[in-house]
Chain A
Amino acid sequence: MSAFLLTETPIDPTSFSADLRRDEAGGYCSFEGWVRNHSDGQAVLGLDYQAYPALAETEALAVLREAEARFDIVAASCIHRTGSLVIGDMAVWIGVSAAHRDAAFTACRFVIDEIKKRVPIWKRERYADGHSEWIACHEVTENS
């Protein structure tokens, strides 16, 4: 039902969004996260992503299953990049189909928020001034 993919190559959501298209779905909502050129007032040239694939897959699938249990949706999927990305590249894609739009929007928001909080993926920002830094955003909590 739900699908998660980590990929080292540019994200192409075509087949994933096609899989969300079902006769019982009245609509579909997606979110794309892109690499932007600034962070906290610093000029950014790009991002490097690392993931711990075995655990990332388990956690991401748990998030998608939770979304399916909590909201009245048909299906949810996620694709996340790893490797070196430049400005404008798609870093993450979420797609959710549902009978009605409200659940699709809410579940899509839930999935991106939880992916950011829980899934073992890390980004390093490469700045225009030459330095780079791993971003330690969300401590993964026991009950997440």
Chain B
Amino acid sequence: MMLARPEMPRLTLEYFASLRDEAGCAQEQIESTAPSLSALYDELSQRHGFSLPATRLRVAVNAAFAPWDQSPRDGDHVVFIPPVSGG
């Protein structure tokens, strides 16, 4: 018998700089029901103890900047962008 189970979006997360150090990995795949990217960051912050507040970050989905209230969708590649320091 097939169980009617809501699909959990499967996301690929990639981390850079201090977020990578705090997460202890460069990339991970997770399943999350977070309704927004900002809720997703809260969820991950709890798990990894990120020290940067979301207010100092931007978020990119599939290599383009995205609004924090966007809903993560199955297959999305999500990157939180800490303050930059190139040059």
Contact = CB atoms under 8 A, between A and B. Distances in A.
B63 interface: yes
Contact of A138 (B57, B65, B84): B84
A122 B87 contact: no
B34 interface: no
Q: Secondary structure of the B side of the interface?
A: mixed
Contacts of B25: none
Most buried by A among B14, B52, B64, B82: B82
Given A55-B63, A134-B17, A134-B21, A140 B83 contact: yes
Contacts of B21: 134
Interface stretch (A20-28, A96-104, A112-120): A112-120
Interface string A110-135: 00100111111111100000000011
A115 B64 contact: no
Contact of A50 (B17, B52, B83): B17
Contacts of A121: 84-87
B70 to A, nearest CB: 14
Given A122-B17, A140-B58, A52 B79 contact: yes
Interface in A47-79: 49-52, 54-56, 58
Given A52-B79, A52-B81, A134 B86 contact: no
Closest 4 CB pairs of A and B: A121-B86, A116-B87, A54-B63, A122-B17
Interface of A: 33, 49-52, 54-56, 58, 80, 91-92, 112, 115-124, 134-140, 142
